[in-house]
Amino acid sequence: MHKPVKSESATKQVAAAMGDGWLHGGSFVGSILAGALLGYLTDRWLGTDPWFLIVGIVLGSYSGFMRMWAYSKRIEDQIRDR
């Protein structure tokens, strides 16, 4: 059996942390999908399959990783300032 949560404020903290996780995880996936979509559309427009799709995925992944790195840095700074 699990232990009940001690207070409502702890439950709110967990919910807020989960919300942040979903938000930033979605931002990461969204960056990759946006890069892939832009690359795909550019390839369709210029007829250069699959080069811009590959570039779009790489740039979207880079953007997603940079967003996650900045978020983790911000969290680290918040913990250090406590």
List CB contacts of 81: < 8 A, sequence separation 6 or more. Answer: none
What's the pLDDT score for residue 79?
A: 86
Q: Where are the domains of the chain?
A: 32-82
- State the pLDDT at residue 13: 86
pLDDT higher for 5 or 27?
A: 27
Span 15-24, pLDDT tens digits:
888 998 899 9
Q: Is the pLDDT of residue 3 over 70?
A: no
pLDDT in tens, 25-62: 999 999 999 999 999 999 999 999 999 999 999 999 99
> Global pTM?
0.78
Count of CB atoms within 10 A of residue 52's CB?
A: 21
